């Protein structure tokens, strides 16, 4: 009976040692895999989630500021023209696309081609 208990005790100790060794191997394998993937991600020039969230929030704030400033510009232009300013959101959406083309057309109509004093270039237009 004594021999069976010793055999079982030895077997238990051996299994316990094997389990602890397997746990150490697992931890080492995880550490090596983590190092490998961190190096791979560093070479791929990826950004971390926290950095991405910060930049996304900054872009949203910049977009809001841009919309606010566009509405303010439209309001000031309306006041300068002597008329009432349109509501801020409508002015910001309507004013931006329509302003670029009329200014360009007005500048071409006001200054003859080749007039250096008016700020136009002296090369003929070859768009057509």
Q: Please determine, for residue 54, whether its predicted confidence score (pLDDT) is greater than 90.
A: yes
Tell me: pLDDT of 57 over 70.
yes
pLDDT at 103 over 90: no
CB distance 96 to 122 below 8 Å: no
* pLDDT at position 60 over 80: yes
pTM: 0.37
DSSP class of 86: P
Ramachandran bin of 57, using left for φ above 0, alpha for ψ from -120 to 50, beta for the remaining angles: alpha
* CA distance readout (Å), 69 to 3, 13, 54, 75, 88: 90, 75, 22, 10, 10
| Structure tokens that stand for 52 in this block | 């991405």
Q: In Å, how far are 3, 109, 117, 127 from 105, measured between CA atoms? A: 106, 6, 17, 15
Element (H, E) at 107: helix 88-110
């Amino acid at each position: 009976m004594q021999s069976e208990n010793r055999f079982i005790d030895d077997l238990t100790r051996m299994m316990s040692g094997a389990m602890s060794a397997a746990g150490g191997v697992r931890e080492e394998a995880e550490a090596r895999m983590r190092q490998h993937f961190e190096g791979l991600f560093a070479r791929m020039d990826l950004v971390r989630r926290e950095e991405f969230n910060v930049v996304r929030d900054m872009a949203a704030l910049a977009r809001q500021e841009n919309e606010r400033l566009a509405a303010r510009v439209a309001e000031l232009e309306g006041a300068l023209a002597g008329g009432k300013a349109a509501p801020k959101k409508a002015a910001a959406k309507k004013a931006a696309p329509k302003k670029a083309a009329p200014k360009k057309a007005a500048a071409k109509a006001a200054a003859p081609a080749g007039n250096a004093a008016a700020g136009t270039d002296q090369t003929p237009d070859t768009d057509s």
